[in-house]
A and B are shown apart, each in its own frame.
Chain A
Amino acid sequence: MTADPFKKALLRVLQYAMAIGLMVYSGFPIYYMMVSSVRPPQEFLKTNALIPTKISWDFYRTLTSRTDFVQQFMNSFIVAFGTVAITIVVSIVIAYIVARYKVRGKTIIVGLMLYAYMFPPLFLAIPLVSIFAQLGLTDTLVSVIVAHVTISLPLGVWFLWGFFKAMPFELEEAAMVDGCTRAAAFLRVVLPLSLPGIITVGTFSFLLSWSDYTFAVVLLSSDSVKTIPLGLASLLGTYDFRWGEVMAGATLVALPLFLLFTLFSRYFIAGMAAGALKG
Chain B
Amino acid sequence: MTLDWRLRISLIAGLIVVAAFIVLPAIQAILLSFEGTDSFVVPATWVGLANFERVLVMPEFWRDLGTGLTYAIVTVCLQLVLGTIFALILNVPLKGQALFRGVAILPYVVPTVVVAISFQWMLDGNIGLITQIVRNLGLGRLIWSDDPWIALMTVTLISVWMWTPFVTTCVLAGLQTIPDNLYAAARVDGAGPWSRFWHVTFPGLRSVLIVVIIMRGIWMFNKFDIIWLMTRGGPLGATEHLPILSYSMAFRQYDIGGGAAVATLSFLILSAFVALFIHLFPLQEK
Contacts and interface: CB of A to CB of B under 8 A. Distances in A.
A157 B17 CA distance: 12
B111 A211 contact: yes
Interface of A: 1, 15-16, 18-20, 22-23, 25-27, 29-30, 32-33, 36, 45, 48, 86, 90, 93-94, 97-98, 100-103, 109, 112, 116-131, 133-134, 138, 146, 149-150, 153-154, 157, 182-183, 207, 210-211, 213-214, 218, 229-230, 232-233, 236, 243, 246-247, 250, 253-254, 257-258, 260-262, 265, 268-269, 272-273, 275-277, 279
Interface residues of B, number: 99
A93 B250 contact: no
Interface in B252-271: 256, 259-260, 262-264, 266-267, 270-271
B18 A153 contact: yes
Contact of B111 (A116, A121, A229, A243): A229
Given A126-B32, A279-B283, A27 B92 contact: no
B280 interface: no
Contacts of B165: 26
B259 A122 contact: yes
Most buried by A among B41, B92, B170, B225: B225
A118 B17 contact: no
Nearest to B164: A26
A246 B94 CA distance: 37
A257 B111 contact: yes
A150 B18 CA distance: 8
B17 to A, nearest CB: 5
Contacts of B116: 233
A243 B260 CA distance: 36
A123 B173 contact: no
A30 B3 contact: no
B66 to A, nearest CB: 17
B74 interface: no
A100 B7 CA distance: 11
A126 B119 contact: no
Nearest to B43: A134
B22 A153 contact: yes
Interface string B216-260: 001001101100010000000000001100110011000010011
Nearest to B262: A122
Interface stretch (B52-60, B98-106, B146-154, B195-203): B98-106
A22 B15 contact: no
B182 to A, nearest CB: 17
Contacts of A116: 22, 26
Contacts of A26: 103-107, 161, 165
A254 B110 contact: yes
Contacts of A90: 14, 17-18
B61 interface: no
Given A112-B22, A129-B40, A233-B113, 12 more contacts: A98-B11, A101-B2, A102-B1, A123-B263, A125-B247, A127-B24, A149-B17, A207-B109, A213-B229, A247-B117, A276-B212, A277-B174
Contacts of B45: none
B10 interface: yes
30 contacts: A15-B89, A15-B94, A26-B105, A93-B13, A94-B11, A102-B3, A109-B18, A116-B26, A118-B222, A118-B270, A120-B270, A123-B263, A127-B31, A127-B32, A128-B25, A129-B250, A130-B28, A131-B24, A131-B25, A134-B40, A149-B17, A157-B18, A211-B111, A211-B112, A243-B121, A250-B117, A265-B105, A275-B170, A275-B211, A276-B215
A103 B8 CA distance: 9
A27 B101 CA distance: 11
Given A97-B10, A118-B274, A122-B259, A19 B92 contact: yes
A127 B250 contact: no
A190 to B, nearest CB: 13
Contacts of B103: 23, 26-27
B202 to A, nearest CB: 16
B1 A101 contact: yes
B127 A258 contact: no
Contacts of A254: 109-111, 114
A235 to B, nearest CB: 8
A127 B40 CA distance: 9
Contacts of A150: 21-22, 25
Contacts of B122: 29, 32
A250 to B, nearest CB: 4
A233 B226 CA distance: 11
B78 interface: no
B38 interface: no
Contacts of A146: 21
Contacts of A16: 94
B25 A124 contact: yes
B34 to A, nearest CB: 12
Contacts of A27: 103, 106
B22 A22 contact: no
A265 B102 contact: yes
Contacts of A109: 15, 18
